[in-house]
Every structure is written in structure tokens, then in C-alpha cells.
Amino acid sequence: MYKEAMRPAWVEISLDNLEHNVKQIIEKVGSAEKITGVIKADAYGHGAVKITEVLRKCGIKTFATATLAEAVKLRECGAREEIIVLGLIPNMYADIVAEYGLTVVCCDSENARAFSDAAEAMQKRAAAQQPVPNCLSAQDAFSGARPISALIAVDTGMGRIGYLADDPDTAIADIKKMLALPNFRITGLFSHMSTADEADKTFSREQERKYNAFYGALKNAGIAIPLRTLANSASVTELPSVNFDLVRPGIILYGCYPSGEVDRSLIDLRPVMSVRANIVHLKDVPEGFSVSYGRSFIAKRPSKIATIELGYSDGYPRPYSKHAKVIVNGKLAPIAGNICMDQCMIDVTDVPGVKLGDEVIIMGSDGTLTISADDIAAATGTINYEILCAFGQRLPKVYL
């Protein structure tokens, strides 16, 4: 039990495994400076501030979040590197982008104008020597002393954001309006792969073709694109032709493969997160005794039932109840009944010598037995990404 966790359930984060994974990615792409550390969703539940510290030590100089609030938090915690906000930012928040010196993703000239105007307003404040609210004390490198940097988004097949790749003429006309803005600077071209984690790379190759064609159309129109970024985790693993100038690994940083179809022999990953708890209650029950909501577990023999303080509000999915097993003292033990909001029960009848306080591995390994995020995801019809993010939201984190 970790006293600093203030509860007998916690997430353990192996920083050694994180560094190992980063080194593996560097070997794939050639340089740490080609890597954008994707730390959205609180670094997939691993804790963005601490993960950023480790990635920085590994030589990574660019980070990416999904939301503006995530990026602001990193700035306020001391991050001085470039931070790309991968989601579109509405005009009403343009002043925050300027204050914190963030890189945006953009596909609309009116949105770009809002950013340019916000940067100009910041410059006027600076010229008048007025304090800029909400910024870091050492804000000169980030505030409106410089234009807003932006990656142009092109939709090559994800269907989420961006100009349509098949209609470059419309995009070029709008991008030229951006080029006329005094405080808006296009620094790169952004798109996202939708099926790179599948064994069949046909559509991924089509996305690559569309991306290159769109890039070529911009160049032919006299629009300079200093940097290209397309590759996600699966692309880094299996599609080196789309690495370009900057790659955006996410799930592989944290030691999970993007899917079961990715060739795992191409990169050696180590899980960064494990989930553990201590037994807080233990009792012997007779045959016929029922456990949890709905009485879905009824003892078929005299049994020993243990309780841990971890439930679906901590990321342990309730649909997993019928399939779930945990590791207790070197033995697999099934969950007894439905997982509750904040607790769940375990049938430890076959675990010899079990006692109060014994450690339970919900996700992780004891060196012999392993329960992975993939195992939990497969049993609940979801993906390992969701499992990591969910566990990381409420459980306290212990960094090793």
C-alpha cells in the first residue's frame, strides 16, 4: 500500500518503461527531435506533467494536446517547448492561444483571422507595457510578441477536421487569405491516418497519396509548408514512408500496440501503467451466498470473498465483471459479481494464505502472470486506449 495515494488502490507508472519506449521510437524515426510527444487526455491517463518531464529528458522538444485547457495546464506547469493543440479552437479563445504562445491546427481563414487579431492585440499590450493576464512569469517567449503558428489541416480520409484533400483549389483560395494576415504564420501541414493500425494498408496508402498530392498543390501555388506531419503510432511502427518531418506517437509511448493487427516484432514496447489495490475486507461465506448488485454471483461452495476499493468510476469497466480476473499472491482469481462504482469483490477461495492488505494486480504483471489493457479491452469490446485513459482519471498515480 502506498500511503501517499491516500486510498488502497492506485496506478503505478514505470518511467523506466516509458524511456525504453521512447528509445524504441527514436530508433524507428532517427531522432528525438522528429517526435511530437502526444500527451492528450492527461497523457492517456499517465499524468501529462510528469510524462512531459521524462520526454523532455529524452530529447523531445514538441508536445501535442487535444484541448486548449490541456495545453494551458502544461504552460502553467513550466513547459517552454512548442505545444500543438490538435483540436480546432473556436475564435472566442484566440486570446488564450496568443497569451500562452500555442501552435494551432487550422482550416478556416476566419478562424485564422481571429488568431492574428489576438496576437496583434497582445503586441499592442506589450508595447504599452501592460501586464498580460494568466501567463507564466517568464512569458516573453510565448505571448503575443510573435505571430500565431499554425498547422494547416487537410482531411485525407479520417473525416474529422481539415480541408478536403480532393479539393485543393478551394483550400488554396482560403489559405491565401491566411497568408495575408500579419500575425499568423503557417508552419506545417497536418493530417491523420484512420486505418494505419490495420493489416491491409490499402487505404493508408491512399491517404498518403492524397496528402502528398495536396502538399504538391500547395507548393505549386507558391504556398510554403516548412513541416509535414502525418504519422501516428501505427504509422511509426509500419509505414516509415509517412514519417516526414514530425511524427506523432501516442499509444506506443505508453507501451501498448495500436491494434492486434500491427506487427509487434517491429518495435519492442513495455507497458508503462499497471493498476493495483489492497484487500480491505475479507470474509468466509456459505454455499448459496450472493454477492454484489443483481446477485450475479452465487457461491457454489463455501467461499472466501475479498473486497477492494476500486470500481467503474475508477476505470474498471462494469461490462468486464463476468470475465474479469485479478492476480493475488501469484494466483488468478475471478471477480465475484458485478463491479460496483467504487468497489468490487473477488473470489479468493483458491488463493492460499490470503489476508487483509494483500496486493491485488488488476492490470499488470507479477513476473509470471499478466493481465494487460488489451485483455480488458478485448473482453469489453473496446480498445486499449480507452482502458488506459479511464484508469488514469481518478486513481492516484505512483511514479516508479
Which one is catalytic: 40, 304, 325, 397? 40
Cα separation, 62 vs 32, in Å, equals: 10
Beta-bridge mates of residue 32: none
Give long-range contacts, CB 8 A cutoff, 24+ apart: 96-99.
96/68, 96/72, 96/134, 97/68, 97/148, 98/122, 98/143, 98/144, 98/148, 99/132, 99/133, 99/134, 99/135, 99/139, 99/142, 99/143, 99/144
- Asked if 361 and 9 touch (Cβ cutoff 8 Å), the reply is no
- Asked if 157 and 206 touch (Cβ cutoff 8 Å), the reply is yes
CB-neighbour burial class of residue 295 (10 A; exposed 0-12, middle 13-18, buried 19+): exposed
SS3 of the chain: helix, strand, coil, percent, to 5: 35, 20, 40
State yes or no: is 93 an active-site residue.
no
Cα separation, 208 vs 144, in Å, equals: 35
Which one is catalytic: 23, 124, 176, 293? 293
State yes or no: is 40 an active-site residue.
yes
CB-neighbour burial class of residue 367 (10 A; exposed 0-12, middle 13-18, buried 19+): exposed
How many Cβ atoms from other residues are within 10 Å of residue 16's Cβ? 11
Active site residues: 40, 293
